[in-house]
Amino acid sequence: MRFISWNVNGFRAVLKKGFEEVFRDLDADIFCIQETKMQPGQADFHPEGYHEYFHSAEKKGYSGTGIYTKEEPLSVTYGMDGKHLDEGRVITLEYPDFRFVGAYVPNAQNELKRIDYRMEFEDDLRAYLSKLDETKPVVYCGDLNVAHKEIDLKNPKSNRGNAGFSDEERGKMTELLDAGFTDTFRYLHPDETGVYSWWSYRFNARANNAGWRIDYFIVSNRLQEKIEDASILTDIYGSDHCPVSLTLSDFK
């Protein structure tokens, strides 16, 4: 089973930059997008053979998530136990043997001015995923807005303490993994350097590969043996992020 996650930085914009061809070529069973920046009905993309679910922010042109899936889920949930609904950040699909959670984690912003909300979100998310994991294994993905280790960004020393590489945010990622979850890319590529999923639009960052790995697929530990491939698709353009992928073997 193949999963794709991509922060598209504006769904209507990326639709003009070859998204349909990328979507078709990747042929994912579940394709999750973040930062859709749109309200319901504003994008005309309805691929044959897929069910689609979108969660828009109340604020227009901001945040938002969406999922395209070949198999119709048993249930669809927005937010986390009724919380964090206003910014359209979390969608959960339930299937017979697992749950899929797509998320766009809040950015702590300059000078960490939103760090308190970010910490609240992280704690609620960890509790939510752990609760889901009690009954079915979880596949969790999205733009998680954190480079966990120094290996996960080009310039760790100069970025220490900045949004996405603060001790607080990195610590919450550690807490999540310690709660029974696996970072699939690092599981298969524990020492690989220079592979990132986001680059600033400034300073020719992508051309210089001065990037950050902040997009993830994270799974329940009991799915480790099914991790066949976890990749970062750096050759795909259209956003300041590139897609990330996960393939689980013997999995439906």
- In this predicted model, what pLDDT tens digit does every residue of 12-54 receive, in sequence order? 999 999 999 999 999 999 999 999 999 999 999 999 999 999 9
- Per-residue pLDDT at 251: 75
Catalytic residue status for 140: no
How far is it, in rounded angstroms, from Cα 101 to Cα 15? 23
How far is it, in rounded angstroms, from Cα 170 to Cα 120? 14
Q: Which of 29, 133, 143, 215 is catalytic?
A: 143
pLDDT band (50, 70, 90) for residue 156? very high
- Per-residue pLDDT at 250: 87
pLDDT of 175-233, one tens digit each? 999 999 999 999 999 999 999 999 999 999 999 999 999 999 999 999 999 999 999 99
Rg over CA atoms, the chain: 17
Could you tell me the pTM of the whole model? 0.98
> How many other C-beta atoms are found inside a 10 Å radius of the C-beta of residue 56?
21
Cβ–Cβ under 8 Å, residues 189 and 230 = yes
> In this structure, what token pair is assigned to residue 62?
């901001």
Does 162 score more than 90 pLDDT? Answer: yes
How far is it, in rounded angstroms, from Cα 167 to Cα 194? 21
How far is it, in rounded angstroms, from Cα 193 to Cα 178? 23
Cβ–Cβ under 8 Å, residues 76 and 102 = no
Does 252 score more than 90 pLDDT? Answer: no
Helix (H) or strand (E) holding 31: strand 30-34
Residues found in the chain: 252
Can you tell me the mean pLDDT for 127-152?
Answer: 98
Q: Which of 53, 95, 104, 128 is catalytic?
A: 104
**Could you give the residue ranges of the DSSP H alpha helices within 52-211?**
115-133, 156-159, 167-178, 184-188
What's 103's DSSP letter? E
pLDDT of 89-110, one tens digit each? 999 999 999 999 999 999 999 9
161 class by beta-carbon count within 10 Å (0-12 exposed, 13-18 middle, 19+ buried): exposed
Report the DSSP beta bridge partners of residue 217.
141
Report the DSSP beta bridge partners of residue 143.
104, 215
Catalytic residue status for 143: yes
How far is it, in rounded angstroms, from Cα 195 to Cα 154? 9
